[in-house]
């Protein structure tokens, strides 16, 4: 079943067009990546999907038209973990995580909090610390944890490894595997780092200057000469 589906999505900044006729879909349980260089429009696309900016066109989520307001998209379980993280720096780790569950009224919030702590034991140790005192990698863990606390049907991760050391990147990488296997969360990832994306994705889209220029399964695209040359450095 298709969880997310869109055709001809266009985004304008004033007169400049940032995204052109984006068509994209994500199946339930899939891990899909959008790769492309800096400035290609990955963040713009994510911001449009989660309603942070306005767009022309219709997005279908879970078989229904996706509302265009952030608040409503979050209520449906479309959780966007943004580039730059947008954490609450003067609050503790645990408060940041709990705010991620703001929309939820079910009784499993505490259980999910423990699961986030199992996923990132580092956060459990530092749960009373202010987020601003954490390292970049730890802050990224808080950001992913906060998104998980929102009980996502679709988790959109925007550049989760940007600026992180290789060792930290591998922590995040392991966590993503676990999130997908254990919690069966559908993931849409935006990445400049194609290697990282190939490692996790079932399918991928290549976005360049606001247009989708390649798409296919990871296996197919891995041997695409253009991608090999431009993104994988072979």
List of residues contacting another protein (CB under 8 A): 12-15, 47, 50-54, 70-71, 74-75, 79-82, 85-91, 95, 98-100, 102-103, 146, 150
In 3D, which of 107, 106, 78, 110 has the Cα closest to residue 97?
110
The first and second tokens of residue 82, run together, are: 């943004």
- Nearest distance from residue 157's CB to another protein, in Å? 12
Nearer to another protein by Cβ, of 71 and 223: the residue is 71
Sign, CA dihedral 94-97-103-105, equals negative
How near is the Cβ of 132 to another protein at its closest, in Å?
9
The smaller minimum CB distance to another protein, of residues 101 and 227, is found at 101
Q: How many CB atoms lie within 10 A of CB 186?
A: 21
Alpha carbon distance 148, 83 (integer Å)? 16
Strand ranges for 48-107 from DSSP E: 56-61, 64-65, 78-81
Q: How far is the CB of 76 from another protein (least distance, A)?
A: 10
Q: Which is nearer to another protein, 152 or 227 (CB)?
A: 152
Instruction: Measure Cα distances from 192 to 2, 27, 39, 47, 149 in Å.
Output: 25, 22, 10, 17, 26
- Sheet with 31-35, strands from edge to edge, namely 78-81, 154-158, 186-191, 31-35, 203-208, 211-217
CB closer to another protein, 100 vs 206: 100
Nearer to another protein, 86 or 209 (CB): 86
Measured from the CB atom, is 91 or 230 closer to another protein?
91
| Nearest distance, CB of residue 56 and another protein, angstroms | 10
State the residue for tokens 């994306």: 197
State the minimum distance, in angstroms, from the CB of residue 182 to another protein. Answer: 22
From the CA atom positions of the chain, what is the Rg in Å?
17
Task: In angstroms, give the least distance from the CB of 234 to another protein.
Answer: 36
């Amino acid at each position: 079943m298709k969880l997310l589906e869109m055709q001809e999505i266009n985004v304008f900044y004033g007169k400049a067009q940032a995204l052109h006729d984006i068509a994209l879909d994500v199946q339930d349980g899939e891990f899909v990546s959008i790769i492309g260089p800096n400035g290609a429009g990955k963040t713009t696309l994510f911001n449009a999907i989660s309603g942070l900016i306005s767009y022309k066109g219709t997005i279908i989520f879970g078989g229904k038209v996706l509302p265009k307001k952030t608040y409503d998209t979050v209520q449906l379980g479309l959780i966007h973990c943004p580039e730059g993280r947008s954490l609450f720096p003067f609050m503790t780790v645990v408060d940041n995580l709990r705010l991620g569950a703001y929309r939820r009224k079910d009784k499993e919030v505490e259980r999910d909090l423990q699961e986030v702590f199992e996923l990132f034991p580092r956060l459990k140790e530092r749960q009373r610390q202010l987020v601003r005192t954490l390292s970049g990698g730890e802050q990224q863990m808080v950001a992913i944890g906060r998104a998980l606390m929102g009980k996502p049907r679709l988790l959109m991760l925007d550049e989760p490894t940007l600026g992180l050391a290789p060792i930290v990147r591998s922590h995040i990488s392991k966590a993503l595997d676990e999130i997908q296997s254990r919690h069966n969360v559908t993931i849409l990832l935006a990445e400049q780092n194609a290697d990282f994306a190939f490692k996790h994705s079932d399918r991928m889209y290549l976005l360049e200057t606001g247009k989708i220029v390649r798409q296919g399964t990871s296996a197919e695209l891995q041997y695409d000469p253009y991608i090999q040359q431009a993104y994988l450095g072979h």
